[in-house]
Structure 1
Amino acid sequence: MICSLSGEVAKEPVVSPRSGAIFEKSLIERYIVASGTDPLTDEPLSVEDLVQINDGNAIDSSNQIVPPKPPTFNSIPSLLSTFQNEWDALALEVFSLRKQLHKSREELSAALYHQDAAVRVASRLVKERDEARQALQALSISIGTSGADDVEMENDEVEGGAKSNGEEQKPTGIIPVEEINSARDQLFQLHKSQKPTLTIPVDQEVSVELLSANVAHPFKKSSCSNIVKNVDEWILVGSPTGVMAKIDKENKVEKIFKSSGQEITSICYVKVEEEYVPIISDHSKEAKLGEMKESFPSHHQDEIIKLITHPSLHHLFVSFSKDGSWSLNDVSQLKSLFVSTPLSSAITAGDIHVDGALVATGTTNGQVNIYDLTTGNSISTVQTKFNHINQLKFAGNGYWLLVLSHTTEESPKSALEVVDLRKGVVVHTIDSETPFVDFIIDPSSSIVVTVDGQHNLQLHRYLKKGKKWSNSEFTTDLKTPISSLQLLTEAQSKDFEEGVVKFITVAENSKVSEYKIKY
């Protein structure tokens, strides 16, 4: 019988009821006195618990020979006994060391495994972050910056005669390259530091809640709307008769004034001498400074369909025309700084990137063109599912462009496509048998709200876990025809910090209602 402690034949074997192992009695008793546990299982064990193993051929105790008296320590038998005791103590110590070594090896192995896994995850995340940052910077006009180097500069400004589509443009002013690039860098750092997110579980139901059914009702009919967040969140509503209403953040119609006698097709605010002034388009070739009723000179050959103010340089705005051209304009100088060469197809939609250095246009041939605002050069093009593009919006994450297109058939259909600007490809499509009228995307770029021609409001979610979309998570009938949707909540607003996303609907009868995304 081999002792589990010393590894030698036990002279006086005993069995532990805890582990069932065999031990030399003297060794196990010493171990129990020192630790009070079973050496193998570490369960509580006492000397009384040990089970003696008796030889089946044991001799009757009456016939046993009485051992001699123990010798003195100066004799050879005494020394041998001492050596035996020392050997037993050494065997116990070696066993304990081996046990501790085995346990330490297991702990070290587990720690190394977790550390290696953590390093791999951190390395992958850092790599993805760096790749995303490089792609975003390149797309958010790092490309534009490199393109600007090929153009003659004077005091860090480039002449407006940049080339677009290989043709020389007519110089109309000087593009403030340094100012636009500086604003781009500041906006990029701002958006990078904010990293807006909505902490909604994947299985959480998302819906829409009506907050106010009658924010305002300025006209009998509306033609366009906009929200100016940089000036106390004014809601601007235009009418088919050329009248414009300005609604303040307390939902009061602050002012109604007539700008022109024609239908207002687009409306925004620009900064003129430290004051914000509305600027509109109304089926004419020129934009008009609303309250001032002054025409802004332009070089378009057809009517302007869209006006958009630069996200941080509020004296600059971009106009898009049906003649297939777009222009960068400066209200402080009352002139156009750059006019692109007209495309073969009419422009039907346009937008400015959230970092303020890219311009996107949509045309009647289903092509999306992306330009560098500092040079006017075309950066990339994307073909959409349907030919007629009627809405473009850059997402807050900086690398998505949402494009709404539809057919012009008797039974028209719509498609809302998500374009990844880093790859220049469509990564998701939301189809609808009923044409979409308008859409918005929340500051976290995870929820899209659409409204169609049958006044159905729908929610669509992007699930970052798995990088997939969930369409039509919620649908409700608004009971009234809607002309446009406008997002109220921004990434830096207090509402968004509290997880609240608000938006408004503007009905065809100009009735403004306020909603929030509920979860």
Structure 2
Amino acid sequence: MALVCALTNEVPETPVVSPHSGAVFEKRVIEKYLLENGCDPISGKELKAEDLIELKTPALVKPKPPSATSIPATLKTMQDEWDALMIHSFTQRQQLQTTRQELSHALYQHDAACRVIARLNKEVAAAREALATLKPQAGVMNAPTAIPQPALASEAGGAASHPMEQAGMNAEVIQKLQDKATVLTQERKKRGRTVPEDLVSPDQVKSFLTVASHPGLHSASVPGILALDINSADHSKILTGGNDKNATVFNKDTEQVVAILKGHTKKITKVIYHPNEDTVITGSPDMNIRIWHVPTSQTQLLLRCHDGPVTGLSLHPTGDYLLSTSSDKHWAFSDIRTGRLLTKVIDTAEVGLTTAQFHPDGLIFGTGTVDSQVKIWDLKEQSNVANFPGHTGPISAISFSENGYYLATAADDACVKLWDLRKLKNFKTIQLDDGYEVKDLCFDQSGTYLAIAGTDVRVYLCKQWQDLKIFNDHTALATGVRFGKHAQYLASTSMDRTLKLYAIE
């Protein structure tokens, strides 16, 4: 600086201090900066030239002015350019830091916006899928609706008290039922008396042991599993309905819960796993029947067919229609594709119904009543064609054999009765211990074995009707029992909140 002053014949600039940042500047340089920006270059606070504090320096002898054409003029120009370059560089660094912060904030906002858009797209797709299942009919009050998830929480049990309008059994539906029955009858005749090669033998059933017990499928605060079904296409998937108002889909192979279905306002007493689709059906004393899409755990359709608790469910062999019974003394036949109630018929004796199941051909079905009657109905004519008296107490369970000839029934009388549908008579009664309760029974897919669930779990060999195995592993009443594929395993549920699996060890 002294050299420059000597060459330019000027007194050196006085150094000054900023009162805000404490930094030292050349007065000429900082005044130029303040003239352009008006703020301290370090702290960014407002600063005026009058606020600068001069530093006292020894006075220098002012040299004589040089000639105007000497080198000092060039040096001064270079000094001015250097000062301008330094100020520009400092400003650029400040702008770069600000831009980085703004870019980071913008990227965060963009990521958040993408997440919101993805969630909204998923909700819109679910709503469109639900809307596609809704086919409203003009003038129909309280028709079944496809329900988006947000609406489920606001439903009240009393909403099901309004009956649906009946669409009627038209010729197309009846023909579809008849065609399916013809195919199933022909297939049964082809199979004849042969049994599947992979079917477990009676001796193997006798060696069954408890291979798994799963207590965590339902809430521990409201214990009890009340219903059970197995996917007949994928036998690893098991469906349970609980006292905790939830249905659970469980994969026994991976031992993982696939889905928890929440929506009923009361306990779930009946469940069905659709044989050809990832769809399940549940019934409850809240008077509602729900059809669920398992992958999304969403209700596809809500059927309000009854004015009382739903007591029985059975899926027609076509996979398109559902039979339901209720304590309101009616049975109903509904289309699960459109949600329409096709027909609703009152019991001939006008008593409450307790259970229902389709015959394997699908043209007849059986119902149980609270006054100990088992009734056979013709679906096409919607008429009661046969009655099986003999039990005492409400009917608790019925099951048709796969061969279409046998019907097993149970009631609150500690016995299981076998009926011949060709002769319409009871040909065998399995008398159990006094006080024995039967809550569920079922034949395996070949009709070779019959399983009973209640006070314990039992397996009988059909035709000989001898008991092969008794399982006493449950600590409370058994409520459901089902065979796996080719009877290679047996599943049972209980009020002790466990799902147990039995097989060869």
Task: State the TM-score, normalizing by the size of structure 2.
Answer: 0.58
Conserved in 1, the CA contact under 8 Å of 2:407 and 2:420? yes
In the alignment, residue 311 of structure 2 is paired with which amino acid?
I
Distance 1:328 1:179, change over 3 A: same
5 Å-filtered alignment, 1:338-349, equals 338-342=343-347, 343-349=349-355
- Contact map agreement 1:244 1:259 (CA 8 A) in 2: no
Task: Check conservation: 1:351, 1:392, Cα contact below 8 A.
Answer: yes
Post-superposition Cα deviations, 1:476-500, rounded to whole Å, max 9, x if no partner, equal: 422422433433334xxxxx3xxx5
Which amino acid is the alignment partner of residue 465 of structure 2? W
Q: Deviations over 1:193-231 (max 9, x none)?
A: 234438999996961512522256312332222222135
Q: Which residue of 2 aligns with 1:254?
A: 258
CA distance in 2, matches of 1:331, 1:444: 27
**Would the aligned equivalents of 1:173 and 1:335 in 2 still touch at CA under 8 Å?**
no
1:76-101: CA deviation from partner (whole Å, max 9, x where unpaired): xxxxxxxxxxxxxxxxxxxxxxxxxx
**How far did residue 513 of structure 1 move?**
1.8
Correspondences of 1:64-75 after superposition (within 5 Å): none
Q: Which amino acid aligns with 1:213?
A: A
Deviates most, 287-296 or 256-265:
287-296
Distance 1:462 1:289 in 2: 34
* Number of equivalenced pairs: 325
Pair 1:243-2:238 in alignment: no
Equivalent residue for 1:305?
Answer: 311
Residues 325 and 214 from structure 1, CA distance in 2 versus in 1: closer, same or farther, beyond 3 angstroms? same
Aligned partner of 2:132 in structure 1 is: none
Match of 1:402 among 382, 391, 408: 408
Q: Deviations over 1:367-414 (max 9, x none)?
A: 1111112221222111032231000100111111100012xxxxxx41
Find the counterpart in structure 2 of residue 268 from structure 1.
Answer: 272
**Aligned-partner Cα distance in 1 for 2:501–2:200:** 25
Correspondent of 2:381 among 370, 375, 391: 375
Instruction: Answer whether contact 1:359 1:372 (CA < 8 A) is retained.
Output: yes
Find 1:501's aligned residue among 473, 483, 488: 488
Cα deviation 1:10-30 (Å, max 9, x = unaligned): xxxxxxxxxxxxxxxxxxxxx
Secondary structure of 1:340's aligned partner: strand
* SS of the residue 2:298 aligns to: coil
User: Could you tell me how far apart the structure 1 residues matched to 2:494 and 2:200 are?
Assistant: 32
Match of 1:480 in 2: 475
CA gap of 1:475–1:240, structure 2 versus 1, over 3 A, is: closer
Separation in 2 of the partners of 1:447 and 1:269? 21
Question: Per the alignment, do residues 335 and 226 of structure 1 end up closer, same or farther by CA in structure 2, a change over 3 Å counting?
Answer: same
Structure 1 residue matching 2:497: 3-state secondary structure: coil
Are the counterparts in 2 of residues 218 and 245 from structure 1 also a CA contact under 8 Å? yes
Are the structure 2 counterparts of residues 336 and 270 from structure 1 closer, same or farther at C-alpha, using a change threshold of 3 Å? Answer: farther
| 2:209 counterpart letter in structure 1 | L
Distance 1:213 1:368 in 2: 35
Q: Which 4+ stretches in 1 moved above 6 angstroms?
A: 198-205
Inter-CA distance 424–330: structure 2 relative to 1 (3 Å threshold): same
Question: What is the deviation of 1:337?
Answer: 0.7
The answer on whether the counterparts of 1:283 and 1:304 sit within 8 Å (CA) in structure 2 is: yes
1:419, CA displacement in angstroms? Answer: 0.6
1:266–1:306 contact (8 Å) kept in structure 2: yes
Q: Which residue of 1 aligns with 2:209?
A: 210
- Take 2:200 and 2:233, find their aligned partners in 1: how far apart are those partners? 32
In angstroms, what is the RMSD of aligned CA positions?
3.0
CA distance in structure 2 between the aligned counterparts of 1:193 and 1:508, rounded to whole angstroms: 41
Aligned amino acid, residue 267 of structure 2: E
Aligned residues of 2:374 and 2:388 also touching (Cα < 8 A): yes
CA distance in 1, matches of 2:458, 2:234: 30
2:473 paired with 1:469? no
* Preserved CA contact (<8 Å) 1:368 1:382: yes
Distance in 1 between residues matched to 2:328 and 2:228, nearest whole Å: 23
Alignment counterpart, residue 336 of structure 1, candidates 314, 334, 341: 341
Q: 1:292 aligns with which of 292, 298, 322?
A: 298
CA drift of 1:254 comes to 0.9
Shift of residue 259, structure 1, vs aligned partner: 2.1
Letter in 1 for 2:177: I
Are positions 1:197 and 2:195 aligned together? yes
Alignment check: 8 A CA contact 1:196 1:444 kept: no
Instruction: Look up the equivalent residue of 2:369 and give its one-letter code.
Output: T
Q: Which runs of 5+ in 2 are unaligned?
A: 1-164
| Match in the other structure for 1:281 | 283
Structure 1 or 2, whichever has the larger Rg, is 2
Is 1:320 matched with 2:325?
yes
Counterpart residue type for residue 244 of structure 2 = T
Sort the Cα spacing of 1:301 and 1:243 in 2 relative to 1 into closer, same or farther, 3 A. Answer: closer
Higher mean C-alpha deviation, range 350-359 or range 418-427: 350-359
Q: Secondary structure of 2:185's match?
A: helix
Whole-angstrom distance in 1 between the partners of 2:264 and 2:272: 15
Distance 1:351 1:292 in 2: 26
Rounded Cα–Cα distance in structure 2 between residues aligned with 1:427 and 1:275 = 37
> Residues of 1 paired with 2:200 and 2:443: CA distance?
18
| 2:189 maps to amino acid | K
Asked whether the equivalents of residues 283 and 305 of structure 1 are also in contact (C-alpha less than 8 Å), the reply is: yes
Residue 275 of structure 1, CA deviation = 5.5
Contact 2:202 2:461 in 1 (8 A): no
Tell whether the 8 Å contact from 1:315 to 1:331 is kept in structure 2 after alignment.
yes
